Structure 1
């Protein structure tokens, strides 16, 4: 169906993927976010992004690969913000402007507690420039990366000092919430969202997203805390023949299906809603960057034969997404 202009890079990414993607929606989540966002784009953008849907899907997890495998020291701080570090009402005290934030708190403190809301606007500027210059490679790389960071912003545990439940005797909840649950129950999720919307203020929007996410931190933690009090350890985890908890390849405990379902039900659809929020945000930011770049034509960036060959597949997949909210042909990576 689609061609792979960046096949060597994808092979490199595939080799690097066996790292632990702890601080993310997990491979499954990020790949679904970027893939679904393509269908919310207007027709011209949609065709171009669909031509490279496989690349964008795979590249959506590479920010985590840069962090864990390549050990890019600049990468870790971009994925989160510990909002409690800034007092009881961080959304009133934190400057939205990076220069003003550095002046008020110092760059060391900002990096220590995560720079996600200041990094997204930087990526947005880079994507706008790539569209303006009609730089195909940069458009695809930056768009996929931007989708990753926006996905991180919708994950409540990316906004709190208690990111893995380590402060509330719930260590391991991060991977459980963001990876095991969507992998186990995500087949039923609906990824349909509204058509991409123009953002008058992308900087303000990322703070709005973080405020929405942070408001759910207590819900995510308390639901599991209450559930844990009802389950004996023997029913909470999958165990081996010797009775020891089974762990995945990253050393994370695998929760039992019974426990996972009970927690997923207690969250009342929260994960599906958060993933859809990430899809909408990704489409909105991609579209806004394109508009701000002057709405450059993208069709000439690909061979006409490639677009023509994909037209039938795009039509079929777009209809499936519109009617059912499903993504066809996506074999997302699994961690559990």
Structure 2
């Protein structure tokens, strides 16, 4: 499964929104500058192209496992792996994905990064990488199609539904001026359990899969003639859903995408905060200040960001 999650821009916006909810001491423990954390928000997706073990960390196919009579929900990885191997030892134990367990491991990795066993000072770069990965995997758990073997509608003649839900729709929502803000996000107000919260999130996501598949069939019929238009992405033009067709899609899915996005940001902040508490509230070290150019470059196409950062004549 090499389908990307949320999309390049939404992942970074999620990390930025989660950062805004953190208390001052926790921000200091993350270097007191959100730029490195936001820039690493998509590292986990990038690793899919170089690490064959990365892809299963982003999903869990609950429906495929259930079809095989395997009930994985809530099990420890040791128990789940034993069941999977007993069923067919010739297949990888990662074949249905390992997202909930990866979230548990990533959480522990962040805690350990903040509190090294040799009592040395935390390595800030290691902490930021760990926090960015935890946020990325937790974001993916909020995407319904990351919980299904039919993740891109390939089994039901609905290819492209993955990008429709988590990239096209989210990017369209992010730039709508009439959209209500997520509201106040507070890392302290939401409890986060590193073992059970991932399963609860995945259960919420999986419950939306039938609604999404049904909505796509109706949407395809309604928008068959004028649902697509050419849009520029980087240096190329490509066909993508139009704003009007995305408004129809959002209505057909009962507007659940934006609330899902907002709760993802809330839980990312809660996970970082909980890991920080478990690590003993380390203070961390501040980085040098990031310039406005470096911050802006995070949200620009590569050719524009390179120009912004390298042209000495820019103000």
User: Same fold, TM exceeding 0.5?
Assistant: yes
Matched residues in 1 for 2:69 and 2:237: separation? 34
Q: 1:23, 1:57 → 2: CA distance?
A: 17
- Write out aligned runs for 1:178-197 (5 A): 178-187=166-175, 188=179, 190-191=181-182, 192-197=184-189
Is the alpha carbon distance of 1:237 and 1:97 closer, same or farther for their aligned partners in structure 2, counting shifts above 3 Å?
same
**From 94, 102, 113, the counterpart of 1:130:** 113
CA deviation after TM superposition for structure 1 residue 56, in Å:
1.0
In 1: Cα distance, 2:82 partner to 2:5 partner: 29
Q: Secondary structure at the match of 2:226?
A: helix
Aligned to 2:83: 104
Cα distance change, pair 330–212 in 1 and its aligned pair in 2 (3 A): farther
2:32 alignment partner, one of 51, 71, 75: 51
Quote the offset at 1:57 in angstroms.
Answer: 1.0
Match of 1:114 in 2: 97
Q: Deviations over 1:195-215 (max 9, x none)?
A: 335746311110000001111
Query: Is this contact kept in 2: 1:237–1:255, CA < 8 A?
Result: yes
* Structure with more of its chain in helix, by fraction: 1
Q: Deviations over 1:103-138 (max 9, x none)?
A: 111274541111111111111111001111322111
Q: Distance in 2 between matches of 1:209 and 1:334?
A: 32
- Equivalent residue of 2:169, what SS? helix
Work out whether 1:215 is the aligned partner of 2:207: yes
Describe the shift of the 1:294–1:197 C-alpha distance in structure 2 as closer, same or farther (beyond 3 A).
farther
| More off after superposition, 185-194 vs 257-266 | 185-194
Shift of 1:50: 6.8
Q: Which residue matches 1:72?
A: 51
Q: Contact 1:129 / 1:293 at 8 angstroms: preserved in 2?
A: yes
2:305 counterpart residue number = none
Per the alignment, residue 29 of structure 1 pairs with 10
1:275 aligns with one of 243, 247, 261: 261
| Paired positions, count | 285
The 5 Å alignment of 1:323-334 reads: 332=299
Asked if 2 retains the 8 angstrom alpha-carbon contact of 1:96 and 1:204, the reply is: no
CA–CA separation in structure 2 for the residues paired with 1:332 and 1:58: 9
Residues 201 and 195 of structure 1, relative CA distance in 2, 3 Å threshold: closer
Q: Distance in 2 between matches of 1:102 and 1:147?
A: 25
Q: Per-residue deviation at 1:182? A: 1.5
Q: Are the aligned partners of 1:60 and 1:148 in contact in 2 as well (CA < 8 Å)? A: yes
Tell me how far apart the structure 1 counterparts of residues 64 and 222 of structure 2 sit (CA, whole Å). Answer: 32
- Structure 1 alignment gaps of length 5 or more: 1-20, 240-245, 314-327
TM-score for the superposition, normalised by structure 1 = 0.76
Residues 80 and 114 of structure 1 are in contact (CA less than 8 Å); yes or no, is this contact kept in structure 2?
yes
Q: 1:291 aligns with which of 258, 264, 277?
A: 277
Q: What is the 5 A alignment of 1:242-253?
A: 253=239
Cα distance between partner residues in 2 of 1:51 and 1:198: 22
Asked if structure 2 preserves the Cα contact closer than 8 Å seen for 1:84 and 1:160, the reply is: yes
The equivalent residue for 1:9 is: none
How far off is 1:295 after superposition?
1.2
Aligned: 1:235 with 2:226: yes
Instruction: State the 1:34 CA deviation.
Output: 0.9
Tell me, in whole angstroms, the C-alpha distance in 1 between the residues paired with 2:69 and 2:261.
24
CA RMSD between the two structures: 3.1
How far did residue 329 of structure 1 move?
5.9
Q: 1:178 to 1:161 in 2, by over 3 A?
A: same
